[in-house]
Structure 1
Amino acid sequence: MKLLHVDSSALGVHSVSRGLTAAVVAEFKNNHADLEVVYRDLAAAPLAHWTPVADAADPASIEANRVMDEFLAADVVVLGAPMYNFGIPSTLKAWIDRIAVAGKTFRYTANGPEGLVGDKRLIVASSRGGIYSQGTPAAGLDFQENYLRAVFAFLGINEIEFVRAEGVAMSADHKDVAVQGALAGVGSLLRKAA
């Protein structure tokens, strides 16, 4: 089994989403002896924002091909996605721009767009300073999870799961409860896969 582990938080050791992705990957390692993990840190090694590249030998084109190959080879993608200003980090958007490519991960047909990578499982570790989940007053400001659900469904991935810690900036106590609640859900992801 191949797992692609992607982190995008700029907060380093203070990142909640990085802690959550590490916990998810550790659970997979504990339960799958044959697991092969590829790691990409979009904060430490950010991708340039997308621009058209005509030369296949250009370093940006070579890196874009590497990103696509990592994504296509993965059976499971564990994606760290903190909420920044109601959306995702720009580094994560730059990565998505490398994997959302017509003819490779989706295509246009007479009946509309068709995703081509439906054989993957996506687990998103979502962290948010406030509370934006469905049914809360700020739910309409969630352009993070809604965007991720939409773009990966567009690529054909229907198995999208979220491990979420909300309200982590509200207080130290609330952060602890939110993180522990998210971590408690990690084991159930693996039981679901068994």
Structure 2
Amino acid sequence: MIPYIIINVAMSINGKISAINGRYRISNDIDINRVMEIRKNVDGVLLGANSVKVDNPVLNYAKNRIILDEKLRLNDNYNVFDGKIKSYIFSRNNKKIKNAEIIILDDLSITSILKKLYDMGIKSILVEGGSNVINQFIDKKIFDEFYIFINPGLILDGIPLFKEEMKLNYKISMEGDGLLLNIKDINNF
């Protein structure tokens, strides 16, 4: 079995989730509060090493922080290793990182990682990025809910969320000065 998966991401109106030159705030305060509520209600928050490097998130309210870092390029200077919340790193390599448990798997596919997390008692996960990680879930059609907050601004030189154009069944609603896209049918993904 695998955990219940919620993917959440914020993007510009032209589909970019990050500026090439680094961190750029896309979410508004309403969306940030919504995400905080989701974090409180799941067993873990999952993201890739690149998101940790670029954003250096704190991930408040997460019960567990789950980081995918195949080559274990991160060090213990990032906020996710502050010791306030349990942090797990899935990798092929091993080195000491303060306040993190390194989990070495020969098979670092999303499916294998999720099975291991489920066996560890983590039954629900919020996936927060980045693009490569989210696209692994999309490619395998492994998610139960998918939320995309859309900022009305443009990021001209940025990282796209989707690798290719997709036909989606979705519901869209206003959130302050932004839009929230809720994708309904993973089979059409």
Structure 1 length normalisation: TM-score?
0.37
Which structure dedicates a bigger proportion of its chain to helix?
1
Q: Which structure would you say has the larger RCO, counting Cα contacts within 8 Å and 6 or more residues apart?
A: 2
Q: Which has the larger radius of gyration?
A: 1
Higher strand share: 2
- TM-score relative to the length of structure 2: 0.38
